[in-house]
């Protein structure tokens, strides 16, 4: 670097720094990609089902992290979008519409529309009022789903099969569905990463820090927050579409406030404001649930204190904890 101006030296060093930030996501996606090959050595069905659940919940948690980690919008009704995406599959399939592309379009459109309407109302409030209004909207949708007797009501509805692709059952063959979910996870991550790195993302972070100042310099915080809320809702609807196809079952339990709380826990556990941290948080939550539930039915009594310890001693979640160890 000798003889180079300071600006040139910084430019020369910057690309490797950016690439270092991509290593962990690449490792994560690589592990998901090779999981089917390792699963062949034993417990294939169980391992792949676990990995699928992690990836699908990872998409949902990542969509929440977009508004929570970068916009400081604490939504206790985010699981409503998960339920909307799932019910889009179930309702259309019950009426003979089994095409995956039609179901996906309906899931994304319905989730985005619900986010637009509820977000336009909720975002006019702040703090605990925003939390309570999103919770109210989520519970309203939950009770609506339980009242739909034609679609299973409180018991939910079993799907006859996975969605069709161009009239074929390719999603049910081999590992096709697994890699479709992985592609959706990678696509959602790249989309969220592009949004966060864009001017839109910088304004969104600015509204988190000081909305009054952002408004003073010519930006409309409500418009940016609403746009982010709609994008997050649509992405969570995608997760709901995938969840319905994975479980081949749709239930109002997909959209309870407890599920919204679990998504918040995943984001905090992995590391708030880190997109791949949301995926890591989803993996940690699912694995801990599997392990602890084998020990006792009251596994949440063990998980709760563990989460408190994370909040007290690892402020940045799992990612923050390991970053602190590396610096030390």
For the residues 312-320, what does the mean pLDDT come to?
Answer: 74
Structure tokens at 23: 């290593």
The answer to whether the beta carbons of residues 66 and 235 sit under 8 Å apart is: yes
Tell me phi and psi for residue 168, to 5 degrees: -110, 160
For the residues 62-89, what does the mean pLDDT come to?
Answer: 94
For the residues 81-100, what does the mean pLDDT come to?
Answer: 94
Q: Judge whether residue 13 has pLDDT over 50.
A: no
Closest CA to 236 of 118, 60, 93, 103: 60
Name residues whose C-beta falls within 8 Å of residue 78's C-beta, 6 or more positions apart in sequence.
60, 63, 64, 134, 138, 232, 233, 236, 260, 263, 264
Name residues whose C-beta falls within 8 Å of residue 245's C-beta, 6 or more positions apart in sequence.
89, 100, 159, 162, 163, 171, 177
Comparing 304 with 280, the larger pLDDT belongs to 280
How many CB atoms sit inside 10 A of residue 155's CB? 11
Residue found under tokens 């339980």: 146
Indicate if the alpha-carbon torsion angle 252, 257, 263, 266 is positive or negative: negative
- What is the end-to-end Cα distance of the chain in Å, rounded? 28
Task: Kindly report the pTM of this predicted structure.
Answer: 0.90
Structure tokens at 294: 């084998």
Residue 69, burial from CB neighbour count under 10 angstroms (0-12, 13-18, 19+): buried
* Size of the chain in residues: 328
pLDDT band at 327 (very low <50, low <70, confident <90, very high): low
For the residues 80-103, what does the mean pLDDT come to?
Answer: 94
Contacts of 23-31 spanning 24+ positions with Cβ under 8 A: 24/276, 25/189, 25/275, 25/276, 28/276, 28/279, 28/280, 29/182, 29/185, 29/186, 29/189
């Amino acid at each position: 670097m000798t003889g180079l101006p300071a600006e040139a030296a910084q430019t020369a060093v910057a690309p490797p720094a950016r690439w270092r930030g991509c290593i962990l996501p690449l490792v994560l996606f690589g592990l998901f990609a090779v999981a089917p090959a390792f699963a062949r050595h034993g417990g294939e069905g169980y391992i792949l089902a676990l990995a699928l659940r992690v990836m699908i919940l990872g998409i949902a948690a990542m969509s929440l992290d977009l508004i929570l980690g970068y916009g400081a919008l604490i939504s206790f009704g985010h699981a409503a979008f998960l339920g909307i995406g799932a019910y889009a599959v179930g309702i259309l399939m019950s009426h003979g519409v089994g095409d995956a592309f039609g179901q996906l379009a309906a899931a994304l459109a319905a989730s985005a529309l619900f986010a637009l309407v509820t977000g336009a109302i909720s975002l006019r409030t702040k703090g605990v009022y925003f939390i309570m209004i999103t919770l109210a909207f989520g519970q309203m949708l939950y009770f609506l789903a339980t009242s739909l007797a034609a679609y299973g009501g409180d018991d939910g509805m079993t799907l006859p099969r996975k969605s069709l692709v161009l009239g074929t059952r390719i999603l049910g063959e081999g590992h096709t569905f697994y890699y479709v979910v992985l592609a959706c996870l990678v696509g959602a991550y790249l989309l969220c990463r592009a949004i966060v790195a864009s001017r839109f993302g910088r304004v969104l972070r600015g509204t988190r820090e000081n909305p009054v100042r952002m408004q003073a310099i010519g930006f409309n915080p409500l418009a940016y927050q609403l746009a982010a809320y709609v994008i997050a809702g649509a992405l969570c609807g995608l997760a709901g579409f995938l969840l319905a196809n994975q479980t081949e079952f749709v239930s109002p339990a997909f959209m309870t406030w407890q599920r919204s709380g679990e998504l918040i826990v995943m984001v905090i556990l992995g590391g708030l404001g880190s997109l791949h941290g949301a995926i890591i948080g989803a993996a940690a939550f699912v694995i801990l649930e599997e392990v602890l539930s084998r020990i006792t039915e009251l596994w949440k009594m063990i998980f709760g204190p563990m989460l408190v310890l994370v909040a007290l001693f690892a402020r940045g979640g799992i990612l923050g904890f390991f970053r602190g160890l590396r610096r030390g």
